[in-house]
Amino acid sequence: MAELDTSSHDSGKKGPGVKKGKKLSTRVDLTPMVDLGFLLITFFMFTTTMSQPNAMNLKMPDDKQNVDPTKIKQSGALTIFLGKDNHIYYYEGENLKADLSNVQSSNFKDIRKVILDKKANTPPDDLFVVVMPGNASTYKNIIDILDEFSIDMVERYALVNKVDPQYEADISKLDSLSTQ
């Protein structure tokens, strides 16, 4: 704070001609320094990266090795299609019907309940979730669904990265149905 220098008023008793050096206060006004300090703090707080990016592990199956497909029990399978505009389609168990009548539509909010229901109704060793992303799905969709598995603690899942043209056609068909 600015301080008034009042010391000169005390020197009234001196006779004429007696000159005394002005007593200066040794106190320094620290306000600007504090201002500067906090300005720099703010700057460093904004530029610093406190949160390190995290990494998610993904293991891909070896496609050169032939795995016996009958090892997966049909009853425990849940297949999830990722469509465009964050749409999800899924079907349980048996093979996909040609008219897609056993496919249900969902979204990223409701899929958790679907996965948990499936998990509750199947023996833990049989549960197997397959993700088939369509060509219109984004990277975010894939990460979100994989993240969903870790949230729901689904241990056996697979990301299909060689999408069959047939499935691709099915996904586009589902997309066009859902937008109607």
Partner 1 sequence: MGRAKLPRKSTAIDMTPFCDVAFLLLTFFILTTKFKPDEKIPINTPSSVAAKVAPQKNYIMISLDKDGKAFLNSDREDVKTDAINILNKDHNLGLTDGEIHRLATMPIIGTSLQNLKAYSGLPTTALNDKLPGIPIQDTANNQLTEWMKAFVSVSQDLQGEDPENKANNLTIILKGDNLSKFPQFKNVISALTDNMILQFQMVTNPEMVPVGSELWRQAQNAAPAAKANG
Closest C-alpha among 180, 179, 172 to residue 82: 172
Which lies closer to partner 1 via its Cβ, residue 13 or residue 109? 109
d(CA 158, CA 10): 89
How far is residue 165 from each of residues 117, 128, 135, measured CA to CA in Å?
30, 23, 10
Q: Is 136 in the site for partner 1 (CB under 8 A)?
A: yes
Which lies closer to partner 1 via its Cβ, residue 161 or residue 179? 161
Contact range with partner 1 by CB under 8 A, out of 15-23, 58-66, 72-80, 91-99: 58-66
Contact range with partner 1 by CB under 8 A, out of 12-20, 33-41, 97-105, 172-180: 33-41
Q: Is 47 in the site for partner 1 (CB under 8 A)?
A: yes
Contact range with partner 1 by CB under 8 A, out of 12-20, 42-50, 88-96, 99-107: 42-50
Which lies closer to partner 1 via its Cβ, residue 96 or residue 163? 163
What does the buried/exposed string (b/e) look like for 126-139 if buried means 16 or more CB atoms within 10 Å of the residue's CB?
ebbbbbbbbeebee
| Residue of 22, 26, 62, 165 that binds partner 1 (CB under 8 A) | 62
How far is residue 164 from each of residues 51, 91, 94, 157, 177, measured CA to CA in Å?
40, 17, 18, 18, 20
| Residue of 7, 11, 107, 138 that binds partner 1 (CB under 8 A) | 138
